Amino acid sequence: MTLALRSGRFGALSDAPATFVLDGALVMDPPSGTADVREIAVVGGRIAEPALAPADAPRIQADGLVVAPGFCDLHAHLREPGGEDAETVAGGSRAAAHGGFTTVCAMPNTDPPIDDPASVTWLLARASDASCRVRVVAAATAGRAGVELPDYAALAAAGAVAVSDDGASIPTGRLASRAMVAVAAAGLPLIEHAEDASLAAGTAMRAGPVATRLGLAGWPASAEAVVVERDIALAAETGARVHFTHLSTSGSVEAVRRGKAAGLPITCDVTPHHLALTDAWVAGDRRFSWETGDDDDVARPLEDGLAYDGRCRVNPPLPSREDALALLGALADGTVDAIATDHAPHPPQRKAVPFEEASPGMIGLETALSVGLAAVDAGRLSLRRLIEALSISPARVIGEERSLVAGRPADLVVFDPASRWTVDPRRLAGGSHNTPLLGRELPGLVRLTVAAGRVTWDDGLLA
């Protein structure tokens, strides 16, 4: 059955702690090994034994629903300061809560960049009343200029959980080595956007037969791979924790697999759109990677009104089908640690231009779970692994823990995997709607999100 989005209620971290009991839900808590249908209670904002819930606590029959640890996004663009025409902390946090996320990591490529303790403090204060926890990823180089390193220890003391020059790699091996020594000393991970600018310059989409057919300059897989290989070698020398974000090629995940086998402190994530969408979407194809055949991406005619859609331009570009399926396989076997959205809002005028001129990026906080559930429905991923990749594993990268055991602060999402919804601007909570998934019917409806014990999204479940 297809359900319209209900008129739900958003909450904030400043709200009163929640108390309620859910009965009949499938409780999936990978850290404790729990995956059974039972009662689960929240009392005063903490997970509690159901028998200890007050007699007057709201009790909800939750048959068919799944309860899981709250999701954590390692890579989101909330656009403040400087990009409020696309998104705000308030709007982005509502989109996060609507998608089941209880923590999002705000990237530093803002205007001005988040590159000093004062700007970290400002952003954290800005997010104090948000609908999810906002963690700050500070810039890896001063001004994101790729020349000087900021004081990582001071950034950590101000509350930064990682550093990154997202949108660009640290440009030279020498500077990357210095940065890794410094982040190791500060106890922070480096989140690396792996892209050799000299190889990627002037390109618009992934190199390959589709790019050739469309007459668009192709971004080679080597643009990512050379930086991944460089930074794995530097991590081995420095002992720094390096997290590669939005990997998009099979070669990159194979390099990570080898590095992990050698015991190096490296992790990585992929986005939902690099798992499910392919470069054929630029030609107008709207099938997911697992729905297409090996030889039909180039043979299919261009789709009128969909080809050259600027909403399909992302960085790194959408992968070939072969790479997308390799990424999905690496997620399934644990080589890829996490799913991160790279939620990148843009106003319409930055997408409604010729493809090569479109600003790269698409929104993803409100569709990540659903795209993952589509992969589960297709038999490409287990539900347990999807939950781990959205919650447990990304949280650990930034030092957070997730669990549904009694006594823990309540940090959870309740969703209906069987319900379906259509992606529509009127059903999205964020400030922008730039996604080629508009009009697509997807599985999975988030019914309740609880962050730090507070109800931040309620789709009528507790009403």
* Residue 14 burial (CB count, 10 A): 9
CA angle 173, 179, 181 (to 5 degrees): 105
Backbone φ/ψ region at 64: left (φ over 0), alpha (ψ -120 to 50), beta: left
Q: Which two tokens stand for residue 135?
A: 């963690």
Q: Measure the CA–CA gap between 429 and 363, rounded to whole angstroms.
A: 11
Contact yes or no for 282/214 (Cβ under 8 A) = yes
* 146: region left, alpha or beta (phi > 0 left; psi from -120 to 50 alpha): left
Is residue 137 within 8 Å of 106, Cβ to Cβ? yes
Task: Please report the DSSP string for 234-277 in residue order.
Answer: HHHHH---EEEES---HHHHHHHHHHHHTT--EEEEE-HHHHH-
> Cα(461)–Cα(358) distance, rounded to whole angstroms?
40
Given 115, 342, 411, 458, the catalytic residue: 342
Number of Cβ atoms within 10 Å of the Cβ of 42: 24
Strands 205-206 and 66-69: unpaired
How far is Cα 364 from Cα 435, in angstroms, rounded to an integer? 8
User: Token pair 């359900």 is at which residue?
Assistant: 3
SS3 458: strand
- 342 catalytic per annotation: yes
**Residue among 232, 180, 240, 191 nearest 74 (CA):** 191
Q: Which residues contact 169 (CB under 8 A, 6 or more apart)?
A: 176, 192, 193, 194, 195, 196, 197, 227
CA distances from 428 to 222, 244, 289, 324, 435 (A): 36, 29, 24, 26, 11
- Please give the order of strands across the beta sheet that includes 266-270: 71-76, 101-106, 133-138, 160-163, 190-193, 242-245, 266-270, 338-339
Residues serving a catalytic function are 342
